Structures are given as structure tokens and as C-alpha cells.
A and B are shown apart, each in its own frame.
Chain A
Amino acid sequence: MKAKIARTTLLTVICVLLGILIALQMKNVNADQVTDANLEELQAKLIDYAAKNAELSDRNAELYQYISLLEDDQASGSVQIDSILREKERAAIFAGLREVRNAGIEITVTVAEGAMIRDSVLRQFVNELRALGAQAISINSERLVATSEIRASGSVILINGNGYNRQAGFQIRAITDPTKDAFNLEYLDAVRKSVIHDPQFTGDGYQIQISPMPDVTIPALSEDSIAFKIDLLMPDNQE
């Protein structure tokens, strides 16, 4: 009888201990999932947020100063209006409403006689230029904005609603940071090679030249251009 009680007690104790150990083990398994990679990822997020917060904080401070100027009854009206005009001018440059110039890159795309330039090739170069941080881009004489379409329609490519012959050459121009020219040109050359060697373009005879330019002029886009589609935009009143 005594032996039986002892066995049962021993079994119970072992089972309880096993349960506790299994629970601890599970906890450790979860804890072990934190790795150096997790920590690095977290560190990258921290750096990102620290930079964003510092920038946002500076921006708010500047905004506060600007509001103080606007609300200052003692300030001269012309000083205040000048600051509003400067703000409007910055927005106009940003929107693509001003003709601009500076150092940049020019890409010339031509095809063999009888072949037609594909819209996807132009879009690819434009997207790569955007990814490289180009501040202004044009194709032929069309300034590109966020909503500019580049779409083939029969024998023309439509850009901002204007048609350009697909058999004639296209010039893509962009204002880019000249200190990054080496990287940008190497990157764009890789894109050029991928287009030239793309099996679906075999027979089109693409000739693509990419050159850094000391001075590139990018035309303005008119406020009335259909590219802006302002009639579709209703201001959000909750803002």
C-alpha cells in the first residue's frame, strides 16, 4: 500500500515538473526567436523615425514662424504678401508650371526604319529616372507631371494628350543631381542593355543613347493641360 502511494506521488510530482518545464521551454522558444537580424531591422526603423521626427519638428518650427509673420498685425503687408508669393512660386515650380534648367541627363531613343517605338520603353526610362530622384522630366517638348500618361495609340504615342510619331526619335530629358551622375549613368546603361537584349523587342533595332548634359532645359506645363485633370479633383473639406 505504502509503495503504491509512493509511486503515485512520484508520478504526480514528475508530471507537475514536466508541465512546468514544458511551459518554460515554450517561453524560451519564443524568446529565442529574437535574432541579430530582428535587432538590425528594429535599429533601421529607429534611425528612420529619429530622422523623420527631427525633420518634422524643424518643419513645424518653420511653419510656426511663418504663421507668426502672417498673423503679425504690426508686420508690413508687402512683407507678408511677398512671403505668400514665394510660397505660391515654390508650389508652381513643384507642380511643373515653370520652365526650368540645370545639369541633367538626356536619353535618345530611336528604332530601325519601319519599326515603332513602344510606349513601355519610354515609361521604363521615365520610371527609372523618377526612382533616381529626377526633379523634372520631359519627353520631346512635354513636361511630365504625376498624372501624365505615356500611351501608344496607333502610329503615335500620346503624352499629355499630344501625339508624337512612333517612328521618329524620342528625347527624354531630366534634371538630376550631377554628383550622382556616375551611379545614375551606370544604372541607366543597365536598363538600356536590358531593353536592347529583350527578346520581345528583337527586330525593332533599338538605338538608345544616354548622355550627361551640363545644361538641360525642361519646358513648363500649362495650367490648362489635360494632364492635370483638375476638374476631377474636389478639395477634401474635412482637411
Chain B
Amino acid sequence: MSRNKSKIIHHLAKRTQVTRQRRQVLLLTILMLVFGVIVANHVKSIHAQTENSDLMSRYRQRQEQLDRYETQYERLLEEQQVLSNRKEDAIARLLEREGQSELLDELSRVRALAGFTAVTGPGVRVILNDKPDYDLFLDSPDSIVHDGDIHHVLDLLRSQGAAAFAVNGQRVVTATSIYCAGPTIICNRQRLTPPYIIEAIGNGEPMAALVLADPQLAIRQTIAISLVVEVEVLDQLTIPAFAEANKPDPYINLLEVVNR
């Protein structure tokens, strides 16, 4: 009886060992298969990478160059701001010295009317954005913000008496041209990308109410299109001066004055 039992135990132990060995061999086989697939894929991607490495290195070079240009642009803007302030001070001093304070007032007023000075006041901020996770191949072109959407919001704000506007920090002036250029929008010769932040000084509540109740914008927000429209009433906001106020000539070079 005890001999039989020992035989059975021995048999079972042997079976367990064989099963474990088989399992290990199976695991090893699977691992080797995965290893093989990954190695093959890696070799393939190394080949592709060699082809792509030139593209990558050019991309890195351009990116570094762009970073330098962006830094230079920021520096030039700061310099322009400093020079503009210095010019304002110099004009004020000179006109005071020459006893022409009336001319100084006129100049300030005309510059304000032209949009050449930054202004503050209560108002509204409207944010327009493309459909979240917009896919060029799957989604309709209607699901991105177009120049018409920006014009429409500006028209709504104008009809509620807005006194000054900006789109992504670009002051909207009489000669402002807003139009689509591929997936971006050009405003005052600057390329803007979404989200488009439209700010306006004026009576915030009615402006916001009009935008929120607008049927055209409601259609643009339906599930099929899914444009994002956000509206915020602000107690105070600043609309910057027109960025090219110091040299507005490209915007008026076709205009011959008839009568002063």
C-alpha cells in the first residue's frame, strides 16, 4: 500500500516537473517570438530612422533658429515699447517748451481715436476655439474657427457699442484686415492660431448676453460642428495699442487726402 503511494507521489512529482519545463519552454518560445518581432521592427525602424535622421536634424536646426528669432522678436518689441515711451516724453517736453500744449492734447486725442494708445475699461472676453481634438481627416472643416466667425463676433460687439477690440492681442483698427490663411488667421499682418481671444471694452453684460444668445454661434456649437465658444464679463481689461502705430504707412499709402 505504502509502496503504491510512493509510486504515485513520484509519478505526480515527475508530471509536475515535466509540466513546469513545458511551461518554461512555452514562455521562452513566446518571449523569443516577441524578441524576434521587436528586433525585426527595430532593424526596420533603424533603417527608416537613417532616412529620417536628415529630416530630424534639419527640424532641430530650424527649431533652434526659430527659438532665436522668437527671442529677438520679444527683445525688439520691448525696445519698441521703450522707444515709444521715450518718444511720447520727448514730444510732451518739446511741446510744453514751445508753448504748444493744445497741439499735445490734439495729438493725444487723434492717437486715441486711431487706436494708437492702449486703453482700459470694463468689457467682455470671447474665446473661440476649434473642436477639441480636431482631426483634419475625420472632422468637417466647419469644426475649425474661420475668419467669418471672428468677423461675426466683432459685428455683435459693435452692435452693442464696443469701444475698442483686440483679437489675440492685436488691436482691431479701421484698417484691420482679418482673413484665413490655411489653418491660421491673419490679423494686422500677424499670423494667429487658435484659441482666438476676442476682447472688447464696453458694457460687458449686454455684449456677453448677445454673444451667448446668438443663433449663428449656437449652430456653430452643435455636436456636428462642436466649435468652442466661451464668454466672460470682466470688470477691467486692457486693449493694447495698434502694434504698428509708429509706422502706419502701409495701411494708408493709397489714401490721398481731399479736404482737411
Interface mask (A129-151 → B, CB under 8 Å = 1, otherwise 0): 01111011000000011111111
Q: How many A residues touch the partner, as a band?
A: 35 or more
Question: CA A46 – CA B65 in complex, angstroms?
Answer: 8
Instruction: Determine the main DSSP class of B at the interface with A.
Output: helix
Asked whether, in the complex, the Cβ of B119 is within 8 Å of the Cβ of A234, the reply is: yes
Whether a CB of chain B sits under 8 angstroms from the CB of A162 is no
Asked whether, in the complex, the Cβ of A135 is within 8 Å of the Cβ of B251, the reply is: yes
Q: How many B residues touch the partner, as a band?
A: 35 or more
Can you name the residue of chain B whose Cβ is closest to the Cβ of A131? B179
Instruction: Determine the main DSSP class of A at the interface with B.
Output: helix
Given contacts A91-B111, A135-B251, contact A21 B84 (CB under 8 A): no
Interface mask (A157-174 → B, CB under 8 Å = 1, otherwise 0): 000000000000000000
Interface mask (B96-127 → A, CB under 8 Å = 1, otherwise 0): 00101001001101111111111111000000
Q: Closest CB-CB distance, B105 to chain A, in whole Å?
A: 11
Whether a CB of chain A sits under 8 angstroms from the CB of B6 is no
Q: Closest CB-CB distance, A153 to chain B, in whole Å?
A: 10
B256 surroundings in chain A (CB, below 8 A): 100-102
Interface segment among B8-16, B137-145, B157-165, B224-232: the answer is: B157-165
Whether a CB of chain B sits under 8 angstroms from the CB of A123 is yes
Whether a CB of chain B sits under 8 angstroms from the CB of A235 is yes
Whether a CB of chain B sits under 8 angstroms from the CB of A208 is no
Interface mask (A93-112 → B, CB under 8 Å = 1, otherwise 0): 11111111111000000000
Asked whether, in the complex, the Cβ of A11 is within 8 Å of the Cβ of B77, the reply is: no
Which 4 A-B pairs give the minimum distances between C-beta atoms? A232-B163, A95-B114, A236-B118, A49-B69
